[in-house]
Structure 1
Amino acid sequence: MLEAIRRLDNAPLALDTETTGLDPFTSKLLLIQLGTEQGNQAVIDVQKTLGTFPELLSEFKTVMEHPQQVFILHNAKFDYKMIKQSLGIELLYLKDTMIAAQLIRAGLQKKGFGLDDLTHDYNLADLSKSVRQTFENHKGPFTDEQIKYAADDVAYLHKLHKVLVLDIVDLKLDSVYNLECEVISVTGDMELNGLHLDFAKWSALEATAKKESLLKKQELDKHFLQHCEKDLFGDPIVNYNSHVQLKPLLEQILGHSIPGTGKEVLERIVHPAVRALLKYREYEKRVTTYGTGFYKEHVHPKTGRIHPTFVQVGGTDSGRYSSREPNAQNIPRDTNYRAAFTAEKGWKIVGADYAGMELVLLAEFSEDPEFKKIFDLGLDAHGHVATMIQDKLVIRKGDKYLDKGIVKVATEDVNADLRPIGKNINFGR
């Protein structure tokens, strides 16, 4: 088989794997399937071959890591991680039919990107995935049905990739597709490496959040209790986590109707009761979502690290990365929470960010002199716009602002609760 691959002279190979599960740290790599454009497939029993004979694994690694070898996969990141974690083989040049399909239908379709979905949509084959579950916790020899199932997973990848690339080129997305393919391995490595979370720091933050939540509830009581119904003992009845109960109470306090009690609605309202409610919710979320339960749920027992799933394409309509289990892109902005994610001894974390990229582009294309000045001077865009609207300084501690034409750095928050007004204006909400 290795000699046959060499004779192909680095022609693209379809590739897939079968595993006992989805976790690269605890699941076993059972089969590796390779397929040629000419319609030949090879199914490798990993445990009986590569897992048994080190010299064979070494030779296989050399062939698979050839710098010109192209692999066509479906959901390539998964197979990349499984092969790297199980065998130490790092695939270098990947093409992904799932990413291609997601780019073509970006913003229009959230589901239906499985290999069986796409081979059906493009009239290539009707693949059944019912055999897949038989690989879970598999032991012993493989059945003919399992081997055929595995081979079929690479039998149509070449044809599927060709028709998808035609659509990609037609939509002038070829440069985008190539870029996405280049970062498949980077994304896979991000997930394998994971994040180190300092438990002591994280636990201390939960204790602080509980105290702050209690203080904010007491502040809320001053605004709401006088408007609440009473129980049989004359005590006010209010649940600050109930949107149904809060809406009429807020309308009574504000003196006008509101469409709802969601964050996007409340951030537009300037009122002390609303500000207190938003702060209460912020600290409650820190307790319930980012407490010690977060650590226990998401830290992997084998690695001691958090391994989020990063979604390159398809997670958002805009094409931005998203993440889940947990959502590592939604950690509280508070620097104390970010600081709890630490580098282990001997390592450092290096951060880089296109700060406010959308607004920078808007300022550049609009050629608005006031808007361009914000970014030329490094000011806080939302705070500056809110300052212009409110005619009073709105700034957060550490951000830059203008004082009589001189750029200064704020040493404390000043009317920072009004900053969302500027943010809503900037993003046209």
Structure 2
Amino acid sequence: MTKKLVLIDGNSIAYRAFFALPLLNNDKGIHTNAVYGFTMMLMKILEDEKPSHILVAFDAGKTTFRHKTFSEYKGGRQKTPPELSEQFPYIRELLKAFQISSYELENYEADDIIGTLSLKAEQDGFEIKVISGDKDLTQLSSPKTTVGITRKGITDIEEYTPEHIQEKYGLNVDQIIDMKGLMGDNSDNIPGVPGVGEKTAIKLLKQFPTVEELLSSIDQVSGAKLKEKLETYKDQAIMSKQLATIMRDAPVEVQLDGIEYPGYAPDKVIDLFKDLGFQSLLEKVGGDVQTNDEPEVFDDIEFKIVEEVEESIFSNKNAFYVEVLDANYHYSDIIGFSIVNNKGHFYIPTDTALKSSIFKAWAEDESKKKTVYDAKRTEVSLRHHGIHLNGVVFDLLIASYLANPSETIDDIASIAKRYDFSSIQSDDAFYGKGAKRKIPDGKELAEHLVRKALVLEDLEDKLESELEENQQLELYHDLEMPLSFILADMESQGVKVDKDRLLAMGDELKGRLANLEEKIYELAGETFNINSPKQLGVILFDKLGLPAIKKTKTGYSTSADVLEKLESSHEIIEHILLYRQLGKLQSTYIEGLIKFIHPKTSKVHTIFNQALTQTGRLSSIDPNLQNIPIRLEEGRKIRQAFVPSQEGWLIFAADYSQIELRVLAHISSDEKLIEAFNEGMDIHTKTAMDVFHVTREEVTSNMRRHAKAVNFGIVYGISDYGLSQSLKISRKEASQFIERYLESYPGVKDYMDDIVKDAKLKGFVSTLMHRRRYLPEITSRNFNLRSFAERTAMNTPIQGSAADIIKKAMIDMAARLKKEGLQAKLLLQVHDELIFEAPPEEIEVLKEIVPDVMEHAADLKVPLKVDYSYGPTWFDAK
């Protein structure tokens, strides 16, 4: 069997991935685009190459032996963006999960590790594949070693063999370093011979095989200027060749038999993917989970399957669990109940419970105290059967989330595991996954649900004590618990969607798409499949002759970033971009929303995730109503389909104005920020005045735009790289802008310094309402992990406090609507916005009480400000 070694240039691939993909964040605020791209590449390599041995090499530091030859080697490189730096530890975690060896060597580069190991492997009869984004490594190509170089994408690889190098350059592999010696390399700051580019270098090397032979035969070179340059920069050319030459006998301690690839560890990969939020990749590894055919053996427990509900099974205090198998409980039914109390352990089959008036009376009895898991889900599920849940005193899901929001909560078992309560299987293990998912028979199901109720009983006191110790009981009892039932009301109420209007929009979009098709065909001079990148590439680059910016294995790249760069080159491009945008609206938001219209209610019933984000913000899924596109006019129009549930009613929308900046002013006590808000100034204009040192009249729209970007960027811990990308300016300009901002607002600068110091002492940061976010990495010796934690420390109290304030406003608003005896209902929360439906006669009251309640949800050093609007649809209410 052929031994195959894959060697990966870790730093190069990570950089490629970072710059090839847009900045992505998971729900913990960690940037993940480099890790995601690296993962995509890794999985493709493992699938395509099926290596017997594999290693990822990393650069050990900024200084290498080459700096002794040339101190400016790799000089001039911009500092690694912190958004990338923070991802390297996760890339290393990824490699551990995949059981792939990694290695770095002080004073040497990854190239030297790869060069040394590839030579050893050749001598040992291996087939070798090298993967990098750096063409320097093509010098390692040989009959046994293929060098794959990533192009502009991350998984698009050009393979360099000796034959390919000959075909591409007309040179032998050995001449790659000579070519580099002559032309230099800007990315590594290798000078080469000024004025000699790739074409000239290749031409010279076809005449003179090496740099040395060329320099000894300068008199035979044609062209006086070229001769002069070669004569002047002789020593530099020799040095450049040396710098470009990869060392193949570096003191690498790794042995080939120590980097065998045993296959990845599925459980670890799945856990990491969940942690990073790689949902689409989870599906690719989920089927490969190695499960033990032998079921876990737990201590026996006694339980009773209830055949007829009697009052005698209930107590004054009960652990009560309701099982709904599907994640979307609006479309799934209850499959069983369990109750654990001082009278015993009980499983109640669904039909038995729901047909019982005794069960209904107990569930609705406020005096019968209940400990549950996910009160919101429990309440909504029971409501489908005409039962309202009362008497909830503890919710394990919410308590666990508040105690440590960084922990992923999949089910009760994941919480139990954290607290060493191991006598319970995870739902995936019990029910199976995917096509293998099924509900076991009554007795097995009964035991599983009873074990869940036992966890509720066992962990309540432990979690309650933990919250008390953390000063979070008020946050738990007064904010999150009441909010659960308000969210249950909102989810059950749902939002009416005018299906006919959506269908009409869909037809209109289809018509526009058809017209765009005709226009594109006309400009192309022929019909073709616009959705086929291959066919589109042929039209754009072969037929119309547009410059090909990026190529893939299958042809030309027609990705959005490529087309945007070509927009001014030909009229067809703007039509293609619009065609794609409208196509996505049609498939994702028109057809996608229609899919979620409930057949019984004609409404969409989104699920608000209350225990997911580390900042405390709510998120929305199935469908995500917080993410309906509004930048494109056609996207905004989708909101026209969201209408009141009753004829003649109106939609009323109210949102906080710049709440996070107001929270920043309060927390930082910055005098200028406080003054600006208290005087009702436009904060972005004020920032532009302070940063650019101009009067209000001198502030241009561009100045205000820059000020707005840095204002909101500061809230989210933006770096010079992030700001440069946002404003399309250089990192140097962005860095200067941030410096000027912090000079203008010293209170903000002091807050940032102080909160980091405080976090290092405590290990966590808190919101105004004591919501915590733990930051164990803030004292890490790893610079990247520490830097990310420091930025998180700065922005979490701001974002989290804003999230707490709007949650408080929702609770106060529900109470006020009830007090006023209004019919108006709260339908949605979209970040800083609350959306209601109400009869027209109540609008004047809402105009008074909604801002009043929202603006008094918190007592800050600056006023909270709320804007509102209303109309017959959500679209009209904005």
* Change over 3 Å in CA distance of 1:34–1:201 after alignment to 2: same
Mapping of 1:351-390 within 5 angstroms? Answer: 351-368=653-670, 371-372=673-674, 374-376=676-678, 381-382=683-684, 385=687
* CA distance 1:138–1:146, shift in 2 (3 Å): closer
Report the equivalent of 2:458: 159
SS of equivalent residue, structure 1 residue 35: strand
Larger Rg: 2
Query: How many Å apart are 1:19 and its aligned residue?
Result: 4.2
Match of 1:63 among 353, 358, 362: 362
Instruction: Summarize the alignment of residues 26-425 of structure 1 with structure 2, pairs less than 5 Å apart.
Output: 26-36=331-341, 38=342, 40-48=344-352, 50-51=354-355, 56-57=356-357, 59-106=358-405, 108-109=406-407, 111-128=408-425, 129=427, 130-132=429-431, 142-178=441-477, 179-199=479-499, 201-202=501-502, 207=508, 231-236=541-546, 242=559, 245=562, 249=565, 287=585, 291-314=589-612, 316-333=613-630, 336-346=637-647, 347-368=649-670, 371-372=673-674, 374-376=676-678, 381-382=683-684, 385=687, 420-425=705-710
Q: Alignment partner of 2:495: what SS? A: coil
Aligned 8 A contact 2:684 2:711 in 1: yes
Residue type at the aligned position of 1:3: E
Matched letter for residue 235 of structure 1: G
Post-superposition Cα deviations, 1:149-205, rounded to whole Å, max 9, x if no partner, equal 222121221111221222222222221222212222222222222212234554666
| Alpha-carbon distance in 2 for matches of 1:136, 1:89 | 30
Q: Contact conserved, 1:76 with 1:94, CA < 8 A, in 2?
A: no
Greater percentage in helix:
2
Under a length normalisation based on structure 1, what TM-score does the superposition of the two structures give? 0.68
CA distance in 2, matches of 1:209, 1:203: 10
Distance 1:208 1:147, change over 3 A: closer
Q: 1:25-48: CA deviations, max 9, x gaps?
A: 553333221111x37212112313
Gap runs ≥5 in structure 2? 1-308, 524-538, 549-555, 569-573, 719-878
State the one-letter code of the partner of 1:292.
I
CA RMSD after TM alignment: 4.6
Contact between 1:32 and 1:44, CA under 8 Å: does it hold in 2? Answer: yes
Per-residue deviation at 1:386?
A: 5.5
- CA deviations 1:306-338 (Å, max 9, x no partner) are 122211122x22111111222211223476444
Residues in 2 aligned to 1:87 and 1:159: alpha-carbon distance in whole angstroms = 30
CA distance in 1, matches of 2:690, 2:335: 63
**Contact 1:16–1:153 (CA<8 Å) still a contact in 2?**
yes
Secondary structure of 2:338 counterpart: strand
**Residue deviations 1:361-389, cap 9 Å, x none?**
22344455653455446565446645876
Deviates more, 1:304-313 or 1:332-341: 332-341
Q: Contact 1:28–1:86 (CA<8 Å) still a contact in 2?
A: no
Following TM superposition, by how much is the alpha carbon of 1:90 offset from its aligned partner in structure 2, in angstroms?
2.9
Closer, same or farther in 2 for the Cα pair 1:230/1:329, shift >3 Å?
closer
- Using the alignment, how far apart are the partners of 1:282 and 1:376 within structure 2? 45
Change (3 A) 1:245 1:389: same
Deviation, 1:136, is: 7.6
Partners of 1:78 and 1:188 within 8 A in 2 = yes
- Which structure carries more relative contact order (alpha carbon 8 Å, separation 6+)? 1
SS at match of 1:86: coil
Q: SS of the residue aligned with 2:664? A: helix
Note the alpha carbon deviations across 1:274-324, whole angstroms, 9 max, x for none: xx99x979955873566422333332333322122211122x221111112
Residue 274 of structure 2 corresponds to residue 4 of structure 1:
no
Instruction: Find the counterpart in structure 2 of residue 225 from structure 1.
Output: none
Match of 2:116 in 1: none
* Letter in structure 2 aligned against 1:67: E
Q: Contact 2:340–2:453 at 8 Å: present in 1 too?
A: yes
TM-superposed CA distance for 1:245, in Å, is 3.7
Gaps of 5+ in 1: 222-228, 254-275, 394-401, 405-413
Counterparts of 1:385 and 1:281, CA distance in 2:
39
Can you list the C-alpha shifts for 1:180-237, whole angstroms capped at 9, x where unaligned? 12222222222222212234554666647996997xx99xx9xxxxxxx973334325
Q: Separation in 2 of the partners of 1:283 and 1:389?
A: 37
Could you say if the C-alpha distance between residues 91 and 184 of structure 1 is closer, same or farther in structure 2, counting changes exceeding 3 Å?
A: same
Q: CA deviation at 1:92?
A: 4.6
Q: Structure 1 residues 104 and 24 mapped into 2: Cα distance closer, same or farther (>3 Å)?
A: closer
CA contact (8 A) 2:397 2:611 kept: no
Aligned residue in 2 for 1:268: none
Residues 33, 44 of structure 1: 8 Å contact kept: yes
Change (3 A) 1:383 1:21: same
Q: Does structure 1 conserve the Cα–Cα contact (< 8 Å) formed by 2:320 and 2:371?
A: yes
Alpha-carbon displacement from aligned partner over 1:132-160 (angstroms, at most 9, x marks no partner): 46998869xx5322222222121221111
Amino acid at match of 2:332: S
Give the CA deviation at 1:50. Answer: 3.4
Mapped contact 1:209–1:287 kept (Cα < 8 A): no
Q: Distance in 2 between matches of 1:232 and 1:158?
A: 69
Q: Which residue of 2 aligns with 1:273?
A: none
Give SS of 2:351's match: coil
Deviations 1:96-117 (A, max 9, x none): 21222222222x33x2442112
Kept after mapping to 2: 8 A contact 1:197/1:342: yes
Give the Cα separation in 1 of the matches to 2:498 and 2:675. 40
Q: Is the 8 A contact 1:14 1:154 kept in 2?
A: yes
Change (3 A) 1:95 1:292: same
CA gap of 1:241–1:82, structure 2 versus 1, over 3 A, is farther
State, as a whole percentage, how many aligned pairs show the same letter.
21
Relative to the length of structure 2, the TM-score reads: 0.36
- Go from structure 1 to structure 2 and tell me whether the alpha carbon gap of 1:62 and 1:48 turns closer, same or farther (over 3 Å shift): closer
Change (3 A) 1:44 1:208: closer
Contact 1:68 1:93 in 2 (8 A): no
Q: Distance in 1 between matches of 2:382 and 2:391?
A: 12
Query: What amino acid maps onto 2:663 in structure 1?
Result: L
CA distance in 2 between partners of 1:201 and 1:420 (Å)? 36
Contact 1:72 1:157 in 2 (8 A): yes
